[in-house]
Each structure stands twice: as structure tokens, then as C-alpha cells.
Amino acid sequence: MNDTKSILKSQRLLPDHFRAYFWDTRFTGRELLDWPDHTIKRVLEYGQWEDVRFLRQIIGDEAIRKVVKSSRRLSPRTANLWAP
């Protein structure tokens, strides 16, 4: 999602503990820049509240809501939490 890339306030790397959410790929820390939608979905589904807050500070709630609205892979529980 190109909108997410333009919303990023900085080109910060993800903290190393985010590696646990990307168990099936090689973690580089650049996941939010390279695959923003996928990263947001992973953090919303598997992340701790501190990790969600980290994303909210960097990309904002509106970018998260856009991903939630367009995703069919999020659990109903997660989607409901972010529904307007």
C-alpha cells in the first residue's frame, strides 16, 4: 500500500523483537517499508499492545483502518476491534 509508505514519519527499522511475528520469512527490520499491509496484519493479529502502539505512532490509525477494511485474512475479533 503506497499510502502507508508516504505516511511513515521516518524510515525506522522495526525493533528486533518483531522478528517473532515473521517466523516464516527472513526478518530484516524493513518489513514495514517493504510490505506495509502484511506487517500491519501480522502485528494486529499476533503483536502485543506495545507493538500496536508503536505502529500507531509511526503510521497512524487511519492507515491501520484501511488495512483492516481491505483485509480478508484478519480474524473477526481483530477486525471488530478496529472497525469504525
Residue 74 located in a structural domain: yes
Q: How far apart are CA 31 and CA 19, in angstroms?
A: 10
Residue 15 located in a structural domain: no
Contacts of 11 (CB under 8 A, 6+ apart): 33
Domain, as residue range, for 50: 33-84
pLDDT band at 83 (very low <50, low <70, confident <90, very high): confident
Residue 45 located in a structural domain: yes
Residue 51 located in a structural domain: yes
Residue 76 located in a structural domain: yes
Domains contained in the chain, number: 1
pLDDT at residue 55, as a whole number: 93
Residues 6-64 pLDDT 10s? 545 455 789 999 999 999 999 999 999 999 999 999 999 999 999 999 999 999 999 99
pLDDT band at 76 (very low <50, low <70, confident <90, very high): very high
Residue 48 located in a structural domain: yes
Residue 9 located in a structural domain: no
Give the residue among 12, 11, 31 at the shortest CA–CA distance from 21.
31
3 or 51, which is more confident: 51
Whether the CA torsion 31, 83, 47, 60 is positive or negative: it is positive
Residue 71 located in a structural domain: yes
Q: Are 6 and 59 in contact (CB under 8 A)?
A: no
